[in-house]
Amino acid sequence: MVRPAPNQFSHVLEEMHPYWFERSEQAPQPDGMLPAGTPVLLLREEGDHCRVVTGTGLYVTVARVNLRKLPGDGDG
């Protein structure tokens, strides 16, 4: 968990999507699901997965393919 949780976001999840607290070959099952439309702040890219934090402070890994950049993020 991240405290305080962010109040500005860079991306949104396009579809309901699984998340992992720690993504690894030993943990193939997701820890939960995030609903479509969840805004997230992208913190780190890791190949085809990304580390993000949600508005509730969840610090998790999601697949990059499901992220859509929000307009006005400022870095192009």
| pTM reported for the whole predicted model | 0.83
pLDDT digits (tens, 9 = 90+) for 26-38: 667 899 999 999 9
Helices (H), 1-76: none
Residue 23 has pLDDT above 80, yes or no: no
CA dist., res. 17 & res. 32, Å (int):
8
pLDDT reported for residue 1:
83
Mean pLDDT of 12-19: 94
- Does the CA dihedral 36-37-38-40 come out positive or negative? positive
Residue 74 has pLDDT above 60, yes or no: no
pLDDT reported for residue 27:
61
- Does the CA dihedral 57-67-60-50 come out positive or negative? negative
